[in-house]
Amino acid sequence: MPTYEYQCTTCNYQFEEFQKITDKPLKKCPKCGNNLKRLISPGAGFIFKGTGFYITDYKRKNNSTDKENESKSNKQT
Ligand SMILES: [Zn+2]
């Protein structure tokens, strides 16, 4: 199971979270509730390539497509 490293963009709080590859990434800082960014550290001892990376990439593409469609339809109306 991979370890994901997160950092808060507001208070810079850093922590690691064990998650399944299929779990959704965390978005809220547990300390201040603001936005998190997920760090990918090269020395973590596991590799992000392969199926896990593929699934993450696939999810992101789906999400961004949804958002693009929403914003486009909003602009048109
Ligand atoms: Zn924070």
Residue 58 is inside which H or E element, if any? helix 51-76
Query: From the CA of 73, how far away is ligand 1's center (Å)?
Result: 33
Dist. CA 51 → ligand 1 center (Å): 31
pLDDT in tens, 2-40: 788 999 999 999 999 988 888 888 999 999 999 999 987
**Looking at residues 32-51, what average pLDDT do you find?**
71
Q: Are strands 14-18 and 36-39 parallel, antiparallel or unpaired?
A: unpaired
Class of the CATH-defined domain 1-45: mainly beta
Domain ranges in the chain are 1-45, 47-77
Full-model pTM: 0.50
1 close to 20: Cβ distance less than 8 angstroms: yes
Could you give the residue ranges of the DSSP H alpha helices within 1-40? none
What residues are neighbours of ligand 1 (ion), with CB under 5 Å?
A: 8, 10-11, 13, 29, 31-32, 34
Q: Which residues have CB under 8 Å from 40's CB, separation 6+?
A: 5, 48
